Amino acid sequence: MQIQILTVGKLKERYLVDGIAEYVKRLGPYAKISIVEVPDEKAPENMSPAEEQQVRDREGARLLAALRQDVYVVALAIDGEMWSSEQLAGSLDKLATYGRSQVAFVIGGSLGLSSELLRRADMRLSFGRMTLPHQLMRLVLVEQIYRAMRINRGEPYHK
């Protein structure tokens, strides 16, 4: 399986960089993982709704440009479906079984994803109704992908 994690902004925090690198290394025997970062837009605190929409649209255009046409797109969105780890594993297994072995998980910037990118997504996935920093979401996502791969192979992993 080829899995792309497409995200807005550059990761700076060392502990997150190290944690993600560890899970990407662990995923080596299971899948080819690539992480693509697109530049984020400056988003001052006092923006109008129209300015926020412009930021989402610009970031969304960059994300869309980085997606291949034939990839299955999973947008991480707070209003998406909430799955268990086992459901994620089952979905990835089903995609691979039916010839959709190229999957892109998309994480938006601090203001979320553009409506155009959400329309392009094949599904929306939520990790809960709480808002997580998009940088931390990368680590949570890569850990859950690793857990899903272990589940699919019937290998033990802590609960």
Q: Is 132 annotated as ligand-binding?
A: yes
Q: Is 95 annotated as ligand-binding?
A: no
Q: Is 129 annotated as ligand-binding?
A: yes
Q: Is 62 annotated as ligand-binding?
A: no
Q: Is 109 annotated as ligand-binding?
A: no
Q: Is 14 annotated as ligand-binding?
A: no
Q: Is 1 annotated as ligand-binding?
A: no
Separation of alpha carbons 83 and 94, rounded Å: 15
Q: Is 125 annotated as ligand-binding?
A: no
User: Residue ranges for the binding site for S-adenosyl-L-methionine?
Assistant: 76, 108, 127-132
User: Residue ranges for the binding site?
Assistant: 76, 108, 127-132
